[in-house]
Amino acid sequence: MNLLTQQLPDAIEIDGVEYKIKTDYRGCLRILQALEDPELSEQERCFVLIDNLFEEIPTNVQRAVDLGLKFINTGDEVVEPEEEPMRLFSFDHDGNFIYAAFQQTHGIDLEQTTIHWWKFMALFMDLGSETAFCQLVSFRKRIKSGTATKEELKEYRNNPELFDVPEPDRRTPQEKLEEEAFLRLINTE
């Protein structure tokens, strides 16, 4: 999709029926939060996606979820990476930095505007390197890739909570139950 030559989508076609969608970035961020929420089941995550993206519930819910994820991925097919990518930011954890970076780079007060998700992502990908957010991401990349200076490593060790990005809990519900059972077992002895 080329933002310069094509109109941004405001509907998704499923089984020959066009369903209007809510394109504002806020709903898409709520979907991303739900997808990473370890407390939600797969079914609950799908419900959050449908509720925050579609104006009416499509008949073919599984297809709606698949195409909804493709919309969240700015029109690209969702492909599982072969290895876990280096996590350098979180919309949830870094929200204040991202908000300030939009203001600083683009002059956009996100609280006062509605922006199509794909526009939001295009602008997000072009946040200025002088913003605190981009400097933080760059710092995290140097720490994780092993290219940080001694001073940066010292700063990281002194403030890991500022620099670490929480990793999503990717355990299956069964794995979570097994861990809880194990912890109950060792805590009763």
Q: What is the mean pLDDT of residues 87-99?
A: 94
Q: What is the mean pLDDT of residues 44-48?
A: 95
Name the residue type at position 185.
L
Q: What is the mean pLDDT of residues 116-145?
A: 96
Q: What is the mean pLDDT of residues 121-142?
A: 96
Positive or negative, the CA dihedral 136, 165, 37, 75 is positive
Q: Cβ contacts of residue 87 below 8 Å, gap of 6+?
A: 165, 167
Question: CB count, 10 Å around CB of 94?
Answer: 18
Q: What is the mean pLDDT of residues 152-179?
A: 80
pLDDT of 98: 97
pTM: 0.84
Q: Read off the tokens for 91.
A: 């919309």
Question: CB count, 10 Å around CB of 87?
Answer: 14
